[in-house]
Structure 1
Amino acid sequence: MKTLINKTRLNKIILPTSTAGSLPKPSWLAQPEALWSPWKLQGDELIDGKYDALRVSLQEQQQAGIDIVSDGEQTRQHFVTTFIEHLNGVDFEQRKTVKIRDRYEASVPTVVGAVSRPTSVFVEDAKLLRQQTSQPIKWALPGPMTMIDTLYDDHYHSREKLAWEFAKILNQEAKELAAAGVDIIQFDEPAFNVFFDEVNDWGIACLERAIEGLSCETAVHICYGYGIKANTDWKKTLGTQWRQYEAVFPKLQKSTIDIISLECHNSHVPIELLELIRGKKVMVGAIDVATHIIEAPEDVAQTLREALKYVDADKLYPCTNCGMAPLPRHVARGKLNALSAGADIVRRELAINN
C-alpha cells in the first residue's frame, strides 16, 4: 500500500521540482553560511530549535512552489558525519587528517571496531516532516562510498569491506524511512565523481545493496560539491569539459536505482552525456549553488530545455546542483523561486506543444 500511495503523490505533476539536499539554517540555530557549523542551542532547546527550523525550511520550500519537499537537512550538522555519529564502531575523539575525495584535507573520526546502527538516526525527523505536509517528501542519506571517504579506517583496512558494512546499515535506515512515509530516498555520492574504478568495480553494487527491498523510489545524487573554495578551486582544474559522469553513467543506467541526480547549470558538463542514462528519471541541476547570483527563471528554463533533448518530460525532475547550506538564506529563497518559475515556463511550453 505504501508503494501505491507514494507513487500517487509523485505522479501528480510534470517536471516536479526539488532541492538536492541542504538549505541554510536560521542564524538562531547555527552559524550561517558555513559547513559543520556548531549548534547555538543545547539540550531540549536544541531539539525544539531543530524541529522549528525544519518547519521553517518546509514553509520556505512551499512558498517557493517546490513540489517534492525535504527537511532541508536542518537537524544535522553535516550530510555525512551526522549519520556516522549515531553508529557504533566509530570514535569521534580519535581523529586523523585525511584527504577527502582527493581534494582537500579534513580532520575525521576513526573506525575502531565493527560498525553497526544501534537505533534509527533520522526516522523521527522524517515522521515529523511527514506530519507537516501531504506533498511528496525526499530524504537524503550519505552513500556508502562517500561515507568511507569521510573517515579514517583503523579496523577493516579495506575501503570495499567498510562500504559493504555501511550499505547494510543504510538499508536498515532506509527501510524505516520508507515505512515512515518518505517517497524518495536519495543517497549522496559525490565520491562517484572521483573514484571511477571503485565505483564500477563495487561502488554501484554497494549502492544497490543499500536500496534493496525498499518500498519507495530511490535516487543517487552525484555532483561536483558545495560552493566552497576547495570545490570551486578543484573545478578550475577540470578544463572546459567535465566528463566525469561519462565514467559511471553506463553502469548506473543498468542499475536498479530509480533516479539519477546531477549537476548541469553553469557547469561544463556536456549535456549530451544525459543520453547515457536515457530511460532513467533524472534530477537535473538547474540552479548553481556556487554563486550568490540568483538565476532568472528563463536561465533555469533554458537548462531544462537542453535536458529535454535527452530526458523524456515525464522523467525530468528540475533540481538544484547541490545543497545550499553555505548560502545566505535570502539567496537560497531566491534560487528556489527561480527554480519553480523556470520549471513553470517549460511546463507551459510542453502543454502548448502537446
Structure 2
Amino acid sequence: MKTSTLEKHSVKSNICTHLLPTATAGSLPKPSWLAEPEALWSPWKLQGQELIDGKHDALRVSLQEQQHAGIDIVSDGEQTRQHFVTTFIEHLTGVDFENRKTVKIRDRYDASVPTVVGPVSRPKSVFVEDAKILRQQTDKPIKWALPGPMTMIDTLFDEHYKSREKLAWEFAKILNQEAKELQAVGVDIIQFDEPAFNVFFDEVNEWGIACLERAIQGLECETAVHICYGYGIQANTDWKKTLGSQWRQYEETFPKLQKSNIDIISLECHNSHVPIELLELIRGKKVMVGAIDVATNNIETPEEVANTLRAALKYVDADKLYPCTNCGMAPLSRDVAKGKLNALRAGAEIVRRELLENT
C-alpha cells in the first residue's frame, strides 16, 4: 500500500507543500455504465459483485480525472455512494428503509425517508474498504466525506428517540467510529457535510457544533465541515431566490465554528450572494473557498476563479486558503465537470504566481 501523507508529516501539519492547494467539495459525475448520468441519486445499473467492481472502477476513473486536471487534494468523487447521506445510513441498524415517511428536508422540499425504529448502531465500517482502494492508487493527500450528524437527522423520520438532539448525538458517536477507521487507513482529511447548518441556526449553536466536535473527537488527521447552499436542483435554486440580495446564513454559525476544533471550513462563494467579508468571522481557520459554481453548465474562466480567490484573500491568510468547488458536481456532465476542474487548477495557479511574485 502507498504510504499515506499522515505517515510523512507530523500531526495536523500542512498536507500540501505549496500555496493554494486545490480540492473538490465532494461528488463528481458517475460513468454512464454505473448510474444514470447528469442525475442526482440515480439507481445503480449493476448488481452484486459487478456493482462492487463497477464502483471501484469508477473510483479509479474519478481519481484519474482529478489527477489529470491537477487537483492537489483528491477524493473518491463519491463514486461508491448513491446518496451522500442515506448510503451511510443504509449500513446502520435501527433504521427501517421499508417503513418510509414524508418529511420536509431542510425546511425546503418534501422527501420520502426511512424511519428510525430502534437504537442506531454501526455493525461494521461503511467506507473503509473503499478508502483503502483510493489510498492504494495515489500518493496525493486524500479527503473523504461523511454526512454530518445534523444533516443525517434531517434525512430521517424518528419514531424511536423522538428528539433531534438525542439522535444527532448517537450519530456523532457512530461517525466518530467510522472516522477513526478512515484515518487508520490513511485518509488525510475527513470532511463532514452539514448543509443543515445553513438552515437550523438555533440548533446549530445550541448543540449542532458540539455534536460535530463529538464526531471528530480523538482524530489526528485534519477535519473539515462543508456548509453550502446545495446542488443546483430546482428545490435549492427556488430556495435561494427567497434569500434576498445577500445570503448571510454563514453569519449565524461562523463565530462559533471559528472557536471550534474543526480545522477546515468549506463554503460557497462563486456566483453566490454570500458577502465575502463574512470570511473575516473565521479568520485563523483553513478555508476551502468555493470558486466553482456547480449550479450551472457554464465553465468558469481561470480569471473568474482567480477573482474569487483574490477577494477571499482579503479575509483568509494565503497559507490557509484552499481553492475548491461550491458543492458536489454529480448532476453535471463529465465534460463540464472536467472543464470546471481545469479552470479551478488554472485559476489557483494564476493567484499562486501572484503571491509568490509579491513575496
> TM-score when scaled to structure 2?
0.97
In structure 2, give the amino acid aligned to 1:63: H
2:211 to 189, 206, 212: 206
Say if 1:157 and 1:51 are closer, same or farther in 2 by CA, change over 3 A: same
- Alignment-derived partner of residue 250 in structure 1: 255
Q: Which residue of 2 aligns with 1:310?
A: 315
Question: What amino acid is aligned across from residue 264 of structure 2 in structure 1?
Answer: I
Quote the offset at 1:178 in angstroms. Answer: 0.4
Structure 1 segments unaligned to the other structure (5+ residues) = none
Whether 2:93 is the aligned partner of 1:88: answer yes
Contact map agreement 1:289 1:323 (CA 8 A) in 2 = yes
- Mean Cα deviation higher: 156-165 or 39-48: 39-48
Counterpart amino acid of residue 200 in structure 2: F
* Secondary structure in structure 2 of the residue aligned to 1:111: strand
1:6 Cα deviation after fit? 6.8
CA change 1:44–1:5 in 2 (3 A) is farther
2:201 is equivalent to residue 157 of structure 1: no
Residue 352 in 1 paired to residue 357 in 2?
yes
- State the aligned residue count: 354
- Report deviation, 1:33: 1.2
* CA displacement, residues 122-174 of structure 1 (integer Å, 9 cap, x when unaligned): 00000000000000000000000000000000000000000000000000000
How many Å separate the matches in 2 of 1:203 and 1:138?
22
Q: Identity percentage over the alignment? A: 85
Aligned with 2:145 (options 128, 140, 143): 140
Aligned letter for 2:151? T
1:104, 1:33 → 2: CA distance?
A: 20
| C-alpha separation in 2, matches of 1:319 and 1:193 | 19
1:284 to 281, 285, 289: 289
Residue in structure 1 matched with residue 267 of structure 2 by the alignment: 262
State the partner residue of 2:103.
Answer: 98
Post-superposition shift, 1:11? 3.3
CA drift at 1:3: 8.1
1:275 to 275, 280, 291: 280
Give CA-to-partner distance per residue, 1:238-288, whole Å, 9 cap, x none: 000000000000000000000000000000000000000000000000000
1:15 aligns with 2:20: yes
Q: Is 2:66 aligned against 1:68?
A: no
Distance in 1 between residues matched to 2:254 and 2:31, nearest whole Å: 37
Letter in 1 for 2:103: V
- Residues 51-78 of structure 1: CA deviation (Å, up to 9, x unaligned): 0000000000000000000000000101
Inter-CA distance 36–179: structure 2 relative to 1 (3 Å threshold): same
Tell me if 1:186 matches 2:214.
no
The whole-number CA distance in structure 1 between the counterparts of 2:356 and 2:21 is: 15
State whether residues 18 and 318 of structure 1, in contact with CA within 8 Å, keep that contact through their aligned partners in structure 2. Answer: yes
Picking from 25, 36, 41, the partner of 1:36 is: 41
Q: Structure 1 CA distance, aligned partners of 2:341 and 2:275?
A: 24
Q: What is the one-letter code of the residue matched to 1:251?
A: K
Q: Distance in 1 between matches of 2:315 and 2:211?
A: 27
Separation in structure 2 between the aligned mates of residue 7 and residue 256 of structure 1, nearest angstrom? 12
The amino acid of 2:271's aligned partner reads N
- How far off is 1:4 after superposition? 3.1
Aligned counterpart in structure 2 of residue 340 of structure 1, from 329, 345, 350: 345
Task: Work out whether 1:219 is the aligned partner of 2:245.
Answer: no
Superposed structure 1 runs of 4+ greater than 4 Å apart: 5-9
What per-residue deviation string (whole Å, max 9, x for no partner) do you get for residues 86-140 of structure 1? 0000000000000000000000000000000000000000000000000000000
AA matched with 1:121: V
Residue 109 (structure 1) aligned with residue 114 (structure 2): yes
Name the amino acid aligned to 2:259.
K
- Mapped to 1, the partners of 2:30 and 2:11 lie a distance apart of 28
Q: Is the 8 A contact 1:3 1:215 kept in 2?
A: no
Q: Give the whole-Å Cα distance in 1 for the aligned partners of 2:56 and 2:116.
A: 30
Partner of 1:35, secondary structure, is coil
Q: Which residue of 1 aligns with 2:3?
A: none
The answer (yes or no) to whether the contact 2:291–2:309 under 8 Å persists in 1 is: yes
SS at match of 2:9: helix
Residues 1:319 and 2:324 aligned together: yes
Match of 1:349, as an amino acid?
E
AA matched with 1:64: A
Task: Kindly state the Cα deviation for residue 2 of structure 1 after the two structures are TM-superposed.
Answer: 4.1
Distance (Å, rounded) in 1 between the aligned partners of 2:219 and 2:89: 21
Q: What residue in structure 2 maps to residue 78 of structure 1?
A: 83
